[in-house]
Amino acid sequence: MLEKIKKIGVLTSGGDAPGMNAAIRAVVRSCSYFDVECVGIYRGYQGLIEGDFEVLTARSVRNIINKGGTFLKSARSKEFRTVEGRAKAFQKLKDAGIDALVVIGGDGTFTGAIYLEDEHGIPIVGIPGTIDNDINGTDYTIGYDTALNTVVDAIDKIRDTASSHDRLFLVEVMGRDAGDIALNAGVGAGAEEILIPEEDMGVERMMESLEKSRKTGKTSSIIVVAEGEKSGKNIFELAEYIGEKMVDYDIRVSVLGHIQRGGAPSCYDRVLASKLGVGAVEAVLRGESGVMVGITNKIVTSVDFNTAIKGTRPLDKELRRVLTITTV
Amino acid sequence: MLEKIKKIGVLTSGGDAPGMNAAIRAVVRSCSYFDVECVGIYRGYQGLIEGDFEVLTARSVRNIINKGGTFLKSARSKEFRTVEGRAKAFQKLKDAGIDALVVIGGDGTFTGAIYLEDEHGIPIVGIPGTIDNDINGTDYTIGYDTALNTVVDAIDKIRDTASSHDRLFLVEVMGRDAGDIALNAGVGAGAEEILIPEEDMGVERMMESLEKSRKTGKTSSIIVVAEGEKSGKNIFELAEYIGEKMVDYDIRVSVLGHIQRGGAPSCYDRVLASKLGVGAVEAVLRGESGVMVGITNKIVTSVDFNTAIKGTRPLDKELRRVLTITTV
Amino acid sequence: MLEKIKKIGVLTSGGDAPGMNAAIRAVVRSCSYFDVECVGIYRGYQGLIEGDFEVLTARSVRNIINKGGTFLKSARSKEFRTVEGRAKAFQKLKDAGIDALVVIGGDGTFTGAIYLEDEHGIPIVGIPGTIDNDINGTDYTIGYDTALNTVVDAIDKIRDTASSHDRLFLVEVMGRDAGDIALNAGVGAGAEEILIPEEDMGVERMMESLEKSRKTGKTSSIIVVAEGEKSGKNIFELAEYIGEKMVDYDIRVSVLGHIQRGGAPSCYDRVLASKLGVGAVEAVLRGESGVMVGITNKIVTSVDFNTAIKGTRPLDKELRRVLTITTV
Amino acid sequence: MLEKIKKIGVLTSGGDAPGMNAAIRAVVRSCSYFDVECVGIYRGYQGLIEGDFEVLTARSVRNIINKGGTFLKSARSKEFRTVEGRAKAFQKLKDAGIDALVVIGGDGTFTGAIYLEDEHGIPIVGIPGTIDNDINGTDYTIGYDTALNTVVDAIDKIRDTASSHDRLFLVEVMGRDAGDIALNAGVGAGAEEILIPEEDMGVERMMESLEKSRKTGKTSSIIVVAEGEKSGKNIFELAEYIGEKMVDYDIRVSVLGHIQRGGAPSCYDRVLASKLGVGAVEAVLRGESGVMVGITNKIVTSVDFNTAIKGTRPLDKELRRVLTITTV
């Protein structure tokens, strides 16, 4: 197998995450190190279908390790979800002489990769790049650590104004199906409560704890709310609901939104992306396919795509307990 | 006059702004330097009515120059808007032996000061502390420079993701009646357009310019929108409006909100706050009253409260032109 | 055992590290949660000898989770290195009714704890707080992640000016006996080379690689140098040495120094400190002593002090290889 | 005159400063706006001699407004200091059809421009880009505001560790001949003292103030030292000198160095650079030459090069007084 790989394509797909550029850089430089040609594919699977390719050299990726976003860009592609679209994509790869693919993204990215590999047999290795940290088979996804720092920094700013005015702040953070960001940033920012999907948002529990802390004289509070909730209340409705029950509270809402996706990656994310970028190319050259490289206990490991995207990671109950204890 | 002042009270009122702590510190230390006692009044005019006072020494204000918010806290006070409330407040000042007041805040703060001084004759000097930069008689208000840096830093992050996805972003910044933040941050962040109240938000002009830039192949854009608008469209309605007219655009909204008020003050705001804090105490000791100290061409000057709060500052047309030229 | 603990003392000792305040906060709040009294001991072992104590409540530690340094302060104590000094210290603990100690610091801190426990039998549990990450029995020490981000941010700034001027920069980072910071920050900042004690600084290898990259047209380079070296050349001598051999290079030196110890802790360090603070109090209440709580594969674990301070951690060879590959 | 200008060259020279890229961007886009061609000249006057040119369009300068350094690079040129060198440079300009130059830099840059214009009559307009703020005819130079924020942020970090350990820190900042950075950052960071060339570094005054503050129980101090001094003591000698006189002090030195030149520009610097970039092109098109555009009381103005580089700006005595008062 090893002899066959002469040219590797690399793309980013799905939501962008800080550290994606560092991962691309590591893929490109590993190719250079192992004397394999590297082709950058722009705009994810859509660019793959359109043949939007560029040869990348070690020089192409100078001074990008510290840049947020992805210079290869990302895009949604409806066409790639069809058999015909994927056939076109494969034809473009064949035409360009690309022997294998490294795809950087989240579960949508890996699902697409599963189809493409199944239907056309091209070797594909994935790298988990998403701020949501919702992929199995890796302790961390690229971008998650940076997003946590961005969230905590924003809540530090909000805390300044909350403390100055004796206010209750509801801060919405990303995490449609998982409360990881809310929980970790909640602990990190010293939030008084969190509302997360894993706990059905726990609105009533929060009301009780607000009541209790009001009685003990606490005058300002931060509640971190994961954006996706099952309780049916969005953050503005939630603010209204609390406001009706606790009329003397001055309640404000802050939706952190897209700033969570951007910014210079943290050192951790750059190191992780570098390790996984090298690991992905080595996996390809070892003949692996249909797998994602991840980090487990500081070691680069492989896990097949189906495992990576399947199932949900349980909430870190130990950390949940730490939050409860440290907000007495 | 100078001999009479033995004790000066200081308070912060209205929305908090980065640099307020630096201003309080300078007031306290100036008092110490000029051998005057300094009394901190908590929670603005409400704390004044309630006699929520604490004697402050040079030591009390150690290590606060770099902290956002205001450690004296701020609050709204309905009671202070009544003659009776102000009479109570004055009585508390008399009881505590406070001869003069330094008030840090915006136009609401100065309006309150005008009444208190008129009705009870106590000398009051103001310091402009608000991120909105909407006060006459000073080139800059404390907190404005920091807020601009916070906004620009946030838009830099949003730009990462906008560029990665070829998206149009509408970013709402503070400035209910004035487009200063939107204009300056728009230029600073390299935004493609701004919508500000001074120009009736110019939605149609923006649509034209979006059309034009789409034709020239520009794929991602940032539009900075001042929160207060006369056009009647809020930012989400605006997004919908654009989306209907330009169906192939991927439009996102980001409301920066309260993070704009917090954070460690910039060097400029700390220096400005230090100058104005010293200037305010010196003004009090010189026998001035009913005035705000401000900065004009780098010099500390005084202007009476009525001038400070009256009228609106015109938009910086020259800078508006710079934005137009640099976004060709 | 559990019944006996009614009052726990907490101190920080050795070099300060970002996240120490978050650890103190978690210790104090855990005490509160488990209905144990908590006493803060100022200035490490010196304050212990002097009885510089203060009772801390959940409120005492509000709004410190995001502050660098340690509000309990740290100090060196010659006296504590003597039997008499430690006897005095123990007497102060007895006088104050303190049943157990939580000590936050590095190997010097734990060495002191071993003596105190041996001689006087008081239960002591340690928390690893040092930017150097040089403690056994924990994957990370508190402060390390923040220090890496500070270093990488500083090198990003230096890269701006290096690229603008085609310069060679030697950047000295902390790490007297260990190259962990140099290696991780070197990968994270995209440095061209690192000089670390584990590799005898490898000056000649670096000269070769500089020669090679000059031939391929690389015009600016960053070399990260760990402060402690066995090669006998300090960073300024190193610059001179390189300058003599490569006369056409414009070489600059930057010693990052103490900025590496300060700053708001990263989210990771805050979360880690919170976990370990809770873990330390729980270990005390479980009857453990003479141990440090650390983090291993995301789980809080205990290791005895002698293991924690003994031996050196091997360099992460896998990451060393990643650096080599990604700087082709 | 206006008709004659069809092509404008732009270069950066001297030490790089944050905001130079924003200035280049504004020059390029103004050219585009006024239908003039723009040519980027790499590596300052050396690149001019070598004809290292590239045509720049509005697109060439996308996404650079927030980047530190200068993408046109800067270099020293001995050859340009000779009549022959400048003749070569002019020939390259003629060959390329460049009618006028915009040069971004400090006094060395403008001195070179004076010679080139005198000897060859080509119109040249300057933009002040240097972190030192040592140019006449402008209230601020591009990069100065960012450098102050970088310095203050670094001292905030050092303050964390100084407070934790009761230490005296000497922090060296840039400013070979001028104490502006030291003074402003000293006030902004709440430093206890500053040593600046304008006051012959005032070592003895500092010793007295240290003695005094030690007696009042102050336990940690920050002294900001401008790098260039007339006193003959560099910062390490200074530390030794203080250490000998005050033996119980724990003294540390931190040299901030090159991090002061890098980093994303502040909003102020981006806005200033944008204004001056537009102003420079408009000055060229109006037929001005031999002048620098600067900012005076928020208005873009012109001043001839000889005035810009001549004489020294007096120290801001008022701010010096503010520092004294606020460090009581």
Lowest mean pLDDT among A41-45, A239-243, D92-96: A239-243
pLDDT of D218 above 90: no
Q: Is A315 on the interface with C (CB under 8 A)?
A: no
- Give the C-alpha separation, C33 to D158, whole Å: 34
Name which residue leads in pLDDT, D197 or C126. C126
pLDDT at A116: 98
pLDDT of C3 above 60: no
- Is C156–A26 a contact, with Cβ atoms under 8 angstroms apart? no
Q: Of B52, B99, B132, B134, which is the active-site residue?
A: B132
- Give the C-alpha separation, D67 to D265, whole Å: 7
Structure-block tokens of residue D153 = 């942020």
Closest in D74, D163, D256 to C165, CB measured: D74
- Give the C-alpha separation, B253 to B235, whole Å: 7
Nearest CA among D40, D69, D72 for reference residue D53? D40
Which amino acid makes up residue D215?
K
How many CB atoms lie under 10 A from the CB of residue B186? Answer: 31
Q: Of D132, D145, D180, D269, which is the active-site residue?
A: D132
- Dump pLDDT digits (tens) for D252-291: 999 999 999 999 999 999 999 999 999 999 999 999 999 9
Segment holding D126, helix H or strand E: strand D124-128
pLDDT at C319: 96
pLDDT at A231: 43
pLDDT bin (cut points 50, 70, 90) of residue A107 is very high
CA distance A12 to chain B (A): 10
- Give the C-alpha separation, A249 to A244, whole Å: 9
pLDDT bin (cut points 50, 70, 90) of residue C189 is very high
CA dist list (Å): B248 to A80, B166, B167, B219, B244: 18, 11, 10, 11, 9
Quick one: what percent of chain A has pLDDT higher than 90?
77
- Is A277–C326 a contact, with Cβ atoms under 8 angstroms apart? yes
Quick one: what percent of chain C has pLDDT higher than 90?
77
Which amino acid makes up residue D314?
P
pLDDT at B230: 46
Instruction: Please compute the mean of the pLDDT values over residues C254-278 and round it to a whole number.
Output: 96
Backbone angles phi, psi at A100, to 5 degrees: -155, 160
Lowest mean pLDDT among A223-232, B32-41, C61-70, D222-231: A223-232
Name which residue leads in pLDDT, A8 or B328. A8
Find chain B residues with C-beta within 8 A of D212's C-beta: none
Q: Is D157 on the interface with C (CB under 8 A)?
A: yes
pLDDT at D231: 46
Nearest CA among B40, B56, B71, B65 for reference residue A220? B71
D157 exposed, middle or buried (CB, 10 Å; 0-12, 13-18, 19+)? buried
pLDDT at D138: 95
How many CB atoms lie under 10 A from the CB of residue B205? Answer: 13
Q: Is D252 on the interface with C (CB under 8 A)?
A: yes
- Complete edge-to-edge strand list for the sheet that includes strand C251-255: C193-195, C221-226, C168-173, C251-255
Q: Let me know how many helices (H) and strands (E) chain C has, helices first.
A: 11, 11
Nearest-by-CA chain C residue for A32: C328
Q: Is D52 on the interface with C (CB under 8 A)?
A: no
Structure-block tokens of residue D162 = 């100084």
Quote the DSSP letter at residue B68: -
Interface test with D, best of C165, C172, C249 (most D CBs within 10 A): C165
pLDDT at B201: 65
pLDDT at D187: 98
Nearest-by-CA chain A residue for C146: A267
| Per-chain mean pLDDT for chain C | 92
Q: How many CA atoms lie within 13 Å of B67's alpha carbon, on the beta-carbon side?
A: 23
Quick one: what percent of chain A has pLDDT higher than 70?
97
Find chain D residues with C-beta within 8 A of C259's C-beta: 154, 157-158, 254, 256
Q: H helices within A106-190, ranges in order?
A: 107-120, 144-165, 180-188
* Segments of chain B with pLDDT less than 50: 1-2, 229-232
- Dump pLDDT digits (tens) for D142-196: 999 999 999 999 999 999 999 898 899 999 999 877 789 999 999 999 999 999 9
Which residues have a Cβ under 8 Å from the Cβ of D294 and sit 6 or more positions away? D128, D135, D137, D138, D139, D276, D300, D301, D302, D303, D308
Q: H helices within D166-266, ranges in order?
A: 180-188, 203-215, 235-245
Backbone angles phi, psi at B166, to 5 degrees: 55, 55
Structure-block tokens of residue D225 = 């030292």
CA distance A297 to chain B (A): 30
- C-alpha torsion angle, residues B117, B120, B122, B124 (rounded to 10): -20
Find chain A residues with C-beta within 8 A of C321's C-beta: 278
* Catalytic sites of A, residue numbers: 132
pLDDT bin (cut points 50, 70, 90) of residue A122 is very high
- Give the C-alpha separation, C97 to C285, whole Å: 16
Check: CB of residue D80 under 8 Å from CB of residue D259. Answer: no
- Give the C-alpha separation, C261 to A258, whole Å: 31
pLDDT at A3: 56
Q: At which residue do the structure tokens 């304008």 appear?
A: D198
Check: CB of residue D131 under 8 Å from CB of residue D145. Answer: no
Segment holding D106, helix H or strand E: none
pLDDT of C201 above 90: no
Measured over the CA atoms of residue D138, residue D141, residue D146 and residue D149, the dihedral's sign is negative
| Per-chain mean pLDDT for chain D | 92
- Dump pLDDT digits (tens) for D111-151: 999 999 999 999 999 999 999 999 999 999 999 999 999 99
- Dump pLDDT digits (tens) for D229-243: 444 468 888 899 888
Find chain C residues with C-beta within 8 A of A298's C-beta: 139, 316
Instruction: Please compute the mean of the pLDDT values over residues C276-284 and round it to a whole number.
Output: 98
Work out the end-to-end distance of chain C between its first and last CA atoms, rounded to an integer number of angstroms: 59
A177 exposed, middle or buried (CB, 10 Å; 0-12, 13-18, 19+)? middle
- C-alpha torsion angle, residues D53, D54, D55, D61 (rounded to 10): -120
pLDDT at B3: 56
- Enumerate the β-bridge partners of residue A11: A103
| 3-state SS, residue D301 | strand
Q: Of C52, C99, C132, C269, which is the active-site residue?
A: C132
B252 exposed, middle or buried (CB, 10 Å; 0-12, 13-18, 19+)? middle
pLDDT of A95 above 70: yes
Task: Write down how long chain C is.
Answer: 328
Q: Which domains does chain B have, with CATH numbers?
A: 7-143+265-310 (3.40.50.450), 147-260 (3.40.50.460)
Segment holding A308, helix H or strand E: helix A305-309
- Give the C-alpha separation, B15 to D216, whole Å: 36
pLDDT at A232: 47
- Give the C-alpha separation, C325 to D222, whole Å: 43
- Dump pLDDT digits (tens) for D23-63: 999 999 999 999 999 999 999 999 999 999 999 999 999 99
- Residue B26 marked ligand-binding: yes
Interface test with D, best of C157, C250, C269 (most D CBs within 10 A): C157
Annotation says B52 is catalytic:
no
